[in-house]
Structure 1
């Protein structure tokens, strides 16, 4: 009986936790990428803060089909803060970026703010602020 009670309480707390989370109102970040070289695979976008950028799992991730070399992806319910987005054209649909033995990427990629990069992306170059309005960003691969 004690186990059953624990399971019910855990289920209810999960339900109410998810309900509370879905009621949080945040902003939307809509990302447009228009220069994709082909329609193979998907585009993967990941949203990061400074702690997760190039170090840990993203805060959110989205995946989109490519149509005529273009994708539009929206992250919803983003709370105010400082973020960066990393995107890659996952041509072979293995849900990750592939690299040559030299460490260079095989698949095209880009980050928010479209900085000129001579090495791995840095959060300082890619960061942007979410405040009290929706954002529209363009990323170039």
Structure 2
């Protein structure tokens, strides 16, 4: 009985763990504007979002207190400070953007499932702007 109780307590502790995700963003051609990012869960719900100042051509964002699960990261550089990703003909982005797993758009927007990665410990990922 004591072993079962201990296992239940340990499993509850494991699910309560919070982790940190570090996102290293590379590929800036300039440092204009702000960097907008979103962290989404597997159901495409926004978990964290923010706008960051770009100090140099490489930015590290640290997102704390994430639970075990699958996540995706979306980012874009708002070079003209209008708080949106500007697009041109056919919805093609005019400003730098990037996605987790460095998923690229080919003949339309990428699949959300291709952006997902699993978080079960502290993790660092890199995203290269397009």
Question: What TM-score do you get using the length of structure 2 for normalisation?
Answer: 0.79
Deviations 1:10-37 (A, max 9, x none): xxxxxxxxxxxxxx75111110112111
2:120 paired with 1:120 = no
Partner of residue 87 from structure 2, selected from 96, 99, 120: 99
The aligned residue for residue 48 of structure 1 is 40
Which portions of structure 1, spanning 4 or more consecutive aligned residues, are displaced by more than 6 angstroms?
none
Check conservation: 1:42, 1:65, Cα contact below 8 A: yes
Structure 1 vs Structure 2 CA RMSD? 1.6
| Cα distance in 1 between the residues matched to 2:78 and 2:29 | 12
Structure 2: where are the runs of 5+ without partners? 1-15
2:19 paired with 1:31 = no
Partner of residue 55 from structure 2, selected from 63, 67, 90: 67
| Cα distance in 2 between the residues matched to 1:92 and 1:126 | 26
The aligned residue for residue 139 of structure 1 is 127
| Cα distance in 2 between the residues matched to 1:96 and 1:51 | 23
The aligned residue for residue 81 of structure 1 is 69
Deviation at 1:134, TM superposition (A): 0.7
| Cα distance in 2 between the residues matched to 1:92 and 1:74 | 25
Question: What TM-score do you get using the length of structure 1 for normalisation?
Answer: 0.73
